[in-house]
Chain A
Amino acid sequence: MDFHRPETLKDAPTHYCPGCGHGIVHRLVAEVIDELGIRQRTIGTAPVGCAVLLYDYFNCDIIECAHGRPPAVATGIKRMLPDRILFTYQGDGDLAAIGTAETIHAANRGENITVIFVNNAIYGMTGGQMAPTTMIGQWSTTTPDGRGQYAEGGPIKVCEMLSALDGVCYLERVSVSSPKDVMNARKAIKKAFENQIAEKGFSLVEVLSMCPTDWKLPPEKAMDFVNEKMKKVFPLGVYKDRSGGRHE
């Protein structure tokens, strides 16, 4: 592991809570951008969510989008500047609730972009409300008795859902809840950027991530929550890989 600050990260302390996964995912994305030497041709989109201040941390061009709209915004930029590298960085509310249509259609068009999807099963920024990925029985401020299968519906499994679309090149679900998971996550993120460089189309990496504050858990217990609870509902693995060629 490299302990130097990647060039793609600014020398700035983040605002994230102790034990939050966003900082780890930022670092992985930045390391990959450094390693691929694409910082100066990369444009990132910031979501509305805890990662809205992405531009305070990322040392590359960033556009902050309306809640849920990053895939549409990235589409606009990428179509005008096809040789630039576009990544969206989105939470579960952004990507799988308010922005579901934008996600599905960007994926279905096979937009040649890289989506980093941080699934923490809760709305972090607004203080712990139910997310589309909140699990059955999971407490949130808007499911005080736990999420119910019938009133609220079960958690949306994004990789499984998108795997049905022909336009998608690559889908993998990873986690940042252990050192081994972090190494795997890095590989997946790298592949998602490499696919774009090779013009292979839509790649999405779903990252299971910790939100100790809104889960009301101490940081180490939050890792356990991912390992023991989330991984059961959201199994890790590759859900689609057509990176051998876009039209195979």
Chain B
Amino acid sequence: MAEKVLLKGNELLVEAAIEAGCRFFAGYPITPQNEVPETMSWRMPQAGGVFIQAESEIAAINMLFGASAAGARCMTSSSSPGISLKQEGISYITAAELPCLIVNMQRGGPGLGNIRAAQGDYFQAVKGGGHGDYRLIVLVPGTLPELYQLTMNAFDYADFYRNPVLILGDGILGQMAEPVELTPYEPILDLPPKDYVLDGCKGRPPRVVKTLYLHPTDSLVQHNLHLQEKYARIRRELNLYEEYETEDAELIVSAYGVPGRIAKGAVKMARREGIRAGLIRPLCVWPFPAAPFRKAAQTAGRFLVVEMSFGQYVEDVKLAIECRRPVAFLGKGGGWYPSQEEILEEIRRLSSKAQDPASVKGSV
């Protein structure tokens, strides 16, 4: 049996990455993810890898650009303000189609904000952030066993699709501790050979990693179409979520990450009270797992979205069900999260209304 350990999320992340063969880490300190570079600083050398405390998040992401081009499994981690600084580099890495893992243990914003957990970087993560038409694969673990497994999987997704993967966590996920079984890494995909690696042109023609497309004049259109094809394929193939008691639910609660876990507790309690509530908890938010939402919208009358922000993820839920059902929203930003009791209270309120068809008509 695999070893069971009690580690903080930030430390567990390091173990998962190293187990999955990550051998390059560059990062810059920022709370609440400091345990990541601190743990990396001694674990990476133990594993024969490279740790660099970079001079900035900009430098860190560009070091990844190089390390990935050199063929390494590599990662960086930061929290909100630092992730903002990485956006230019992320755009270049997606354009050059290099694999890497980026972790954002989100904190309160905007600006310097605070160091409490938040989910205010959702738009930045899934709608863009950097310049140009690009996508990141965005994974959103809500528990530490999920963080461990998804971190290992992230390297496979990155290599398989030649695209950066972002783990969108939050300060709670990074700071909380849970017992986790350190299962050995097993590739979940049949990984292609890295035929783009720059390691000197011995025995082959020189290779180029670049993102400038000037000639012919439409070459950038072609490159974008190629990227779009890849993103369409990822949309078809990657669909990660947990469904809980959705079958007969009249109210679907949805949240991702740590609030997803809190919401699950609230749904359990609601069930005990005889309220037919269910939960959809995505494990990736790009691509967005629209299918379970669409299916649920056929039977459930209402939706409730819970978020540690003033309303970002909720927009994708509305899009997924094409606004066919009213979507209520319970959000807290600035570093605070809705408690299980608050969510339960909202479920109760909505479910009693759900009994009354008249109140359902006006869509939110």
Whether the pair A80, B24 counts as a contact (CB closer than 8 A) is yes
A152–chain B nearest beta-carbon distance, Å:
24
User: Is B201 an interface residue when CB atoms closer than 8 A count as contact?
Assistant: yes
- Confirm or deny: A74 has a beta carbon within 8 angstroms of a beta carbon on chain B: yes
Cβ B200 vs Cβ A84 within 8 A: yes
A43 on the B face (CB < 8 A): yes
Residues of B within 8 A of A39 (CB): 201
Contacts of B185-224 to chain A: CB distance below 8 A: 198-203, 206-212
Q: Which residues of A contact B55 (CB under 8 A)?
A: 101-102, 104-105
Q: Does A230 contact B (CB under 8 A)?
A: no
Q: Which of B66, B198, B209, B210 has the most CB of A within 10 A?
A: B66
Q: Is B252 an interface residue (CB 8 A)?
A: no
Instruction: Flag whether A164 is at the interface (Cβ < 8 A).
Output: no
CA distance A16 to B209 in the complex (A): 22
Q: Which of A53, A55, A76 has the largest number of chain B CB atoms within 10 A?
A: A76
A75 engages B52 (CB within 8 Å)? yes
A184: Cβ under 8 A from any B Cβ: no
Complex contact A55–B67 (CB within 8 A): no
Residues of A within 8 A of B92 (CB): 65-66
Residue of A nearest to B56 (CB): A101
User: 0/1 per residue, A69-99, Cβ < 8 Å to B?
Assistant: 1001111111111001100000000000000
Tell me whether A40 and B202 are in contact (CB under 8 A): yes
Minimal beta-carbon separation of B296 from chain A (angstroms):
43
A102 in contact with B199 given A75-B66, A76-B65 (CB within 8 Å):
no
Residues in chain A near residue B68, CB distance under 8 A: 76
Cβ-neighbour of B201 out of A60, A64, A74, A80 (below 8 A): A60
Which of A46, A52, A53, A65 sits near B65, CB closer than 8 Å? A65
Q: A80-B72, A102-B62 are in contact. Are A61 and B212 (CB under 8 A)?
A: no
Asked whether B59 lies within 8 Å of A77 as measured between CB atoms, the reply is no
B23 within 8 A of A: yes
B55 to chain A, nearest CB (A): 4
CB neighbours (8 Å) of A64 from chain B are 208-212
**Residues of B participating in the A interface, judged by any CB pair closer than 8 Å:** 23-24, 26, 50, 52, 54-56, 58-60, 62-72, 74, 88-89, 92, 198-203, 206-212
Known contacts A63-B69, A79-B50, A102-B58; 12 further A-B pairs (Cβ under 8 A): A52-B212, A53-B212, A55-B208, A58-B206, A61-B199, A61-B207, A62-B210, A76-B26, A77-B70, A101-B58, A102-B55, A104-B55
Residues of chain A touching chain B, judged by Cβ–Cβ distance below 8 Å, are 39-43, 46, 52-53, 55, 58-66, 69, 72-81, 84-85, 101-102, 104-105
Q: List 29 A-B contacts (CB under 8 A).
A: A40-B202, A40-B203, A52-B212, A55-B210, A59-B206, A61-B201, A61-B208, A64-B208, A66-B92, A69-B59, A69-B62, A72-B54, A72-B65, A73-B62, A73-B66, A75-B52, A76-B26, A76-B63, A76-B65, A76-B74, A77-B66, A80-B23, A80-B72, A81-B199, A84-B200, A85-B200, A101-B58, A105-B54, A105-B55
